[in-house]
Structures are given as structure tokens and as C-alpha cells.
Amino acid sequence: MDSPGQIAVAEQGWLKAHQWLLLRRLSQLGILALFLTGPVAGVWIVTGTLSASMTLDVLPLTDALLLAQSGLSGTLPAMSGLIGALIVLVFYALIGGRVFCSWVCPVNLVTDLAAWTGRRFDIRPSGRLSRSLRYWLLGLILLFPLLTGIMVWEFVNPVSLTHRGLIFGGLWGMGWAWMLLLGIFLYDLLMVRRGWCGHLCPVGAFYGLVAAMLCGFAAAGLTAMALAEEIESLRGHAVTDPSDPSLNKPTLAVPGGFVVGWEEQPPLIPHPIDNYSIDLRQNGCFKCHSPDTFETAKAPKIADSHFYDRDGNKLDGLAPRRYFCTQCHAPQAGAMPLVENIFGDR
């Protein structure tokens, strides 16, 4: 069966299927162009690099991870650096820390190229690394300046080395940043899929933590509000009460499935799905419900309507908008209805 990406291209066309990728590339190259207008054309819109910059002589922006290393090394930052780091932290905390990785970082161009090359030539790296490794590296990066007074990471940081090299030296002035980028490319291509961005890069880990911490503070605030106002669920329990019996109801297993309440109701799932995985690489539902397996598994076949696009054109494979089954189909818990159900069997 074709991948969701291939199906999307077949259904929507190449341009629409790749619209977000094209927007990301426009953002990454556009940001680089803003920095290059000064050295290349003498029009200084933004001065500096991604590490620290000034836009139109008014807006300071500072890499908060760089500022943290500087402070731990014993160097007091300038006020503009503090303001710039605060602006950056608030920005990424609000829109998501990994936005830096996919919309700003120049190294992402290299890792995406490695991923495309792997798909194009069917290269499947078998290496595995824990995603928590990048957080350990982040801890070491912050520990080194504290112990040595030296910002060790900035000697090998491929993000700052690449950006600084392109701005002040062009393609031929990047020095050994080329070796770092080549190493990252080969590492992602041959050893660990998305190994750099997903498992090693401490910059992405840092900004991801920033966004996660804001979500944690927001959740804590909402919980405190719920406790203060004693908000209750429809079953009469406080929303923070773990003793609510509805939270521990088992999934109902119903031989033959549930009877639907109206003509086009998505059928409920009559079995547990705790161990099922649905992502871009696999869909656990296909093991029993695909056209190739449903007879052997004695399970309902995926409906024919799921093989048509929204314009009514029949596709060779499953329509992308139907791929994530649990968007519409859900397992039924053994809980009493919250309100009276007036639907009848069809």
C-alpha cells in the first residue's frame, strides 16, 4: 500500500501536498536572506547571526541557550542581550519550541535532505538511540561553562557555525562547518533515522523544554482554578477527583460489533486498542481490516468510501483524510450515558 505522502500527491497534486514543506523552506531561506542583505547588498536589515542579532537597530534577539552558557561561564550579559533572550523565550514558549527546528534552523535543510535521500534510494538505517539523550547532552552543555568557564558547545555548534560561516564568508567561508554538516548528513542517512534532530541536538531540546514548561505552568494554573472553583463533571465529580469511577471503566468487547444509531455513524470499535499504533509509517488497523487481510482475520473491511477523495475520485489506496482511523472511530467504554440518547437503531 502506498504511503500517506504518495497518496496525498496523487490526490491533491505535488504543490498542495508539499505546501507546508515549501513554506518552511521559504521561512528558512528568507531568514537567511535578511541576514545576508547587509554583507551582500549593503542594506542592513538585520545585523549579527542567529546567536545574537539586532533588527532595524531596534529589536534585539538573542539565543537563550547561548545566554545561559554565557551566564554560567561567569560573563555578565548586556541588557540588550537579556531583553533579546526574553523575547525569544516568550516567542517560542507561545508557538512551540520545535518551530525553531523546522522553520528557522539551517541544519534542518541538511537533515531533511538526508531523509529524502533515504526514501529515494530505500536506505533504512537500523540504529536506535533514546530520545532522552539530547537532554543529557543539554545538561552537559550547561555544566561545562560552569566548571571550566568556557562555552565548549559553541566550538562545535553546527547551527551557529553554519549560520555565521554563510553570513561572513559565504559557502567557501564556512570552514570545518562543512565537515560537521557532512557528518550529520551521513549519520542521519546511514545510522539513525532523524538521528540529529530527534535524538542528539541540544538546541532543539532546549527550546522544546521551554514550550513544555509553559504548558506545564498553564496546566498547573488551570488545575488550581478548577480546585478553587470546584468545577464538577456531568457525573457530579470534581474534574481533579481520581476516584471518579468513569475514569477506570474497561473497554467493552462486543462480539459482532455495536449497532450504529444513524445511517452514517462511524462504527464504534468493539475491542481494546491500547497496543495499536497509528503513525506515518504504520497503521495497526490494517492488520485485520485492509482489503488484503479482512477475510483471513474475519473482520469488517475498510469501507469503500475510504478509497475516494473529497471530490469523489476513486484512488488506488486509502484516502489520506481517512488514514488515521481513531479520528472518527472510538472504543466504547462501559459507562452509563451522561444524557438520554434519543437515537434509535437504523
What is the Cα–Cα distance from 33 to 49, expressed in whole angstroms? 12
Least confident of 14-23, 157-166, 239-248: 239-248
In 3-state terms, what secondary structure has residue 48? Answer: strand
Contact 287, 278 (CB under 8 A): no
Least confident of 120-124, 257-261, 267-271, 296-300: 257-261
Kindly state the cell numbers that stand for 242: 481520581
DSSP state letter for 189? I
Q: Is the pLDDT of residue 18 over 70?
A: yes
Kindly state the cell numbers that stand for 57: 537597530
Q: Is the pTM higher than 0.75?
A: no
Contact 249, 333 (CB under 8 A): yes
Contact 45, 52 (CB under 8 A): no
Q: What share of the chain in percent tops pLDDT 90?
A: 42
| CATH number of the domain located at residue range(s) 250-333 in this protein | 1.10.1130.10
Per-residue pLDDT tens digits for 43-59: 999 999 999 999 999 99
What is the Cα–Cα distance from 64 to 160, expressed in whole angstroms? 13
Q: What is the pLDDT of residue 258?
A: 67
Least confident of 80-94, 152-166, 267-281, 331-345: 331-345
Q: Where residue 88 falls among pLDDT bands split at 50, 70, 90?
A: very high
Tell which wins on pLDDT, 138 or 239.
138
Cell numbers 450515558 correspond to what residue? 337
DSSP state letter for 238? B
Domain locations along the chain: 23-212, 250-333
In order, the DSSP letters of 258-324 are: PPPSSTTPPPPB-S--TT--BSSS-BTTHHHHSTTTHHHHT-PPPPGGGGB-TTS-B-SS--GGGS-
- Across the range 3-12, mean pLDDT stands at 77
What is the Cα–Cα distance from 33 to 202, expressed in whole angstroms? 25
Q: Where residue 299 falls among pLDDT bands split at 50, 70, 90?
A: confident
Contact 201, 136 (CB under 8 A): no
Show the DSSP H helices in the chain as ranges: 4-12, 14-17, 19-41, 64-72, 79-95, 99-103, 107-120, 133-148, 158-169, 177-186, 195, 202-229, 286-289, 294-297
Per-residue pLDDT tens digits for 103-153: 999 999 999 999 999 988 989 888 888 889 999 999 999 999 999 999 999
Q: Is the pLDDT of residue 345 over 60?
A: no
DSSP state letter for 326? G
